[in-house]
Structure 1
Amino acid sequence: MDSLAKKFLEEDAANKDLYVQGIIFKDNSYLDVLNQKFNDYLFRINLYSYIKKSIFFAAMDLKKKDSELREKEGLYLNVLDGDFEEEKINTIADTPMDFTEEIYRDKEDINYHEIFTDKKVLEAINTLTDRQRQIIHECIIKDKGEETIAKELGISKQAVNKIKKTALDKLRKQIGGK
C-alpha cells in the first residue's frame, strides 16, 4: 500500500472503518465517502506543500536580493562581529563645535535687518560709526570681553569701554530709553 494512503488511514479511525466497509465489503456508499475524504486529504497536502514551497522560495529570493544589495552598497556602519556572530554598531565620532562662533565666523558685514525687527532699533544702529557698531557687535552679540576686543583691535581696554559707553548712550537717546 502507498505511504500516502497509510498516513490517510492512520490520521483518523473513521477512515479505517470507511476503508473496511468500502473496499473489503464492497459497499459503494462507504466507498464514495472514502473517496471524497481521500480527495480532501490530498487537497490539504498539496495546499500545505504549495504554501511551504512558496514561503521557502520567497525567503530565498529575499536572501538573494539582500546579498545583492549588500554587495552593491557596501557602506554599512554596522559590522558583523565574527567572534559572537552578531551585529556591532559602529559610531562616527562627533567633534565639539561652538555654534555661536560658527554662525558669526567670516561675516564682516552684519545685516542688522536679520537680527532686529524694530524699526527704531535699526535706525539707531545706523547712526553709529563703524567702530562703534563693531565694538557693540563684539561685546553684546558675540559676548566677548573688553580686554579681548582691545587686543584684537590693537587699542586699550579703556578706549573700548569709552567707545562702547558712547555707542550705548547714543542708542538709548535714539530709542528713547534711560
Structure 2
Amino acid sequence: MDSLAKKFLEEDAANKELYVQGIIFKNDDFLDVLNQKFNDYLFRINLYSYIRKSIVFAAMDVKQKGNEIREKEGLYLNVLDADFEEEKINTIADAPIDFIEEIYRDKENIDYREIFVNKKVLEAIDELTDRQKQIIHECIIKEKEEEMVAKELEISQQAVNKIKKTALDKLRKQIGGK
C-alpha cells in the first residue's frame, strides 16, 4: 500500500473503518465518504507543501538579497568570531581631525562667514562676482597656482591672473587698504 494512504489510515481510526466498509465490504456509501476524506487529506498535504515551499523560497530570496547587500556594503562593525560562533563588536579608532584641512576642503557653495569674522571683509567679498570669489578662494585661500586653477576652470592663466587682480583691487578699495 502507498505510504500516503497508510498515513491517511493511521491519522484517524474512523478512516480505517471507512476503508474496511468501503473497500473490503464494497459499500458505496462508505466508499464515497472515504474518497471525500482522502481528497480532503490530499488537499491539506498539497496546501501544507505549497506553504512550506513558499516559505523556503522566500527565505532563500531574503538570504540572497542579504548576501548581495553585504557584498555591496562590505564594511561591518560586527563580525562573526569563527572560534566561538558568536558576534563580536569591532571598534574603529577615531582619527584626529585636522581643522585647517576641514576649512580648506572643497565646498560647492563657499560661505565666507565661516572663514572671515570681520564684517567689512564679508561685505567686500559679497560685492565680488561668483567667478571672482571662486578664483580668490582657489588662489589665495587654497593657495593653488594660477596655472592649476586655469586648467580646472578651463580658462587661460592670464584670465585667472586678471580676474584675481581685479578682485583684489576691488577688495582693497572696499576695505580701505593699500
Q: What does residue 5 of structure 2 align with?
A: 5
TM-score (norm 1): 0.52
CA offsets, 1:7-46, max 9 Å, x none?
1001100000001111111111100000000000000001
Instruction: Output aligned runs, 1:131-150, within 5 Å.
Output: none
Task: Give the corresponding residue for 2:82.
Answer: 82
Task: Show the 5 A alignment for 1:28-107.
Answer: 28-92=28-92, 93=94
> Superposition pairs for residues 95-174 of structure 1, below 5 Å?
108-109=117-118
Unaligned runs of 5+ in 2: 98-113, 121-178
Q: Secondary structure at the match of 1:80?
A: strand
Distance 2:5 2:80 in 1: 49
- Counterpart of 1:109 in structure 2: which amino acid? N
Q: Over residues 84-121 of structure 1, what are the superposed CA-to-partner deviations in whole Å (9 max), with x where a residue is unaligned?
A: 2222222333869xxxxxxxx9654279xxxxxxxxxx
Q: AA paired with 1:66?
A: G
How far apart are the structure 2 equivalents of 1:28 and 1:4? 22
- What is the aligned-residue identity percentage? 77
TM-score for both structures, normalised by structure 2: 0.52
Alpha-carbon distance in structure 2 between the residues aligned to 1:39 and 1:22: 15
Provide the rounded CA distance (Å) in 2 between the counterparts of 1:106 and 1:91: 34
Letter in 1 for 2:118: D
Paired amino acid for 1:10? E
SS for the counterpart of 1:61 is helix
Q: Alpha-carbon deviations, 1:45-85, whole Å to 9, x = none?
A: 01111111111111111111111111111022222222222
SS of 1:87's partner is strand
Q: Quick one: distance in 1 between partners of 2:31 and 2:12? A: 16
Describe the SS at the equivalent of 1:31: helix
Q: Which has the larger radius of gyration?
A: 1
Letter of the aligned partner of 2:29 in structure 1? S
The residue type paired with residue 26 of structure 1 is K
Structure 1 vs Structure 2 CA RMSD? 2.8
State the SS of the aligned residue for 1:75: coil
In structure 1, what residue type is equivalent to 2:62?
A: L
Q: Mark the runs of 5 or more structure 1 residues left unpaired by the alignment.
A: 97-104, 112-178
Counterpart position of 1:20: 20
